[in-house]
Amino acid sequence: MNQITVVICNYNYEHYLAASIDSALAQDYPGTTVLVIDDGSTDGSRAIIEQYGNRISSVFKRNGGQVSAYNYAIEALETEFVIFLDSDDVLYPSAVSEVMRLFAHGKWAKVQFRLDVMDGAGMPTGAYVPHSEPPADCGILLMGGWLYPSPPASGNAYRVSALRRIFPVPEEGVNLYGADFYAIYGVALSGPIATVPKSLGGYRVHNADGATVSFANSEQINKAPRAFNMRWAILRNIARVRLQLELPPTFHDFSHEKASFCSSVYHATFLTRWRWMLHDSRGYLHAIVANPFWSVKKKLATLMLSSLCLVPCSPLSDFVVRYISNPLARRRAAGR
């Protein structure tokens, strides 16, 4: 039987950590082991981890950020397969069995699955991510600069040998976080991607509010574009040096462009919205029109919604931005 490790990287998430560990231990796949890497937490995380004794393996390291935790784990892993479970997320009991069934019948570099969105208290919101499924050969599209639809970190199972072609990733300077970016997209350069078309876990969103443009737990909306650009530059260098592959200087991704759209248009004046649409919306519109993962219907709907930001009605414009950027806003609108 192939073995798999569920790695939980934790930093100061004592309120959610036990639920995450319990979900990993509750997997119905017998060949599952659990490794918890605590990245220098200053809360009560250590005491929680120690309560599990030899049911899990644990590492307590100095705080170095998510990238350093991934680097450590990928070097130390003794299994050929791994899931990196965020310490505030959970896996459903059959998650590992489902992904290992696919790994057993294909040379997949990664198997991904949907995650149900939970609020901060762990209650389901009715939303899930992602909404689109990528083709198996995401590497070809990545070579053209397209980031493929992927769940957040916890919704991905990897072949460790594929990850080791990308990691370790530089930890210096501002590149402390976003390790899942390199795993999700870098691994597609090493082999095909498989998708389980159903939810196998829960993704906790701490600001789960459909009344805001903010969605997910990553960088603030105005910082995300800069962070993605930096990570793409680092991934390009890794691909060039280690894989002898040349990625394009820029990339295309609706989530990335959506962040620019939101930070520029939300709560903006009528003139500012028009100015952005006329002068700065090229990347945003290209990510819609040329999107290889979307249907024509979805493209037209998104373009029509985006055009409503040009009407001289700020409340309507702000509603449209929230609707486009935050899946939870769509749930609220549908429930009215």
Q: Can you give the residue ranges of every domain in the chain?
A: 4-242, 260-334
Query: What is d(CA 208, CA 229) in angstroms, rounded to the nearest whole number?
Result: 26
The amino acid sitting at 235 is L
Place of tokens 């990850």: 163
Contact 90, 121 (CB under 8 A): no
Query: What is d(CA 190, CA 186) in angstroms, rounded to the nearest whole number?
Result: 7
The amino acid sitting at 28 is D
pLDDT at 61: 96
* DSSP-derived 3-state class of residue 169: coil
Q: Kindly report, residue by residue over 227-245, the tens digit of the pLDDT.
A: 888 999 999 999 999 999 9
pLDDT at 334: 63
**Dihedral sign, Cα of residue 181, residue 185, residue 187, residue 189:** negative
Superfamily name with CATH number, domain 4-242: Spore Coat Polysaccharide Biosynthesis Protein SpsA; Chain A (3.90.550.10)
Whole-prediction pTM = 0.92
- 244 burial (CB, 10 Å; 0-12 / 13-18 / 19+) is exposed
CB neighbourhood size of 256 (10 A) = 20
List, in order, residues 6 or more apart from 113 with CB less than 8 Å away.
95, 98, 99, 151, 155, 157, 195, 196, 198, 199, 200, 201
Contact 13, 120 (CB under 8 A): no
pLDDT at 211: 65
Kindly give the parts of the chain with pLDDT less than 50.
219
Q: Where do the H-state alpha helices sit in the chain?
A: 14-25, 45-50, 66-76, 95-103, 138-143, 160-163, 179-186, 224-242, 254-265, 270-279, 282-289, 296-307, 314-325, 327-334
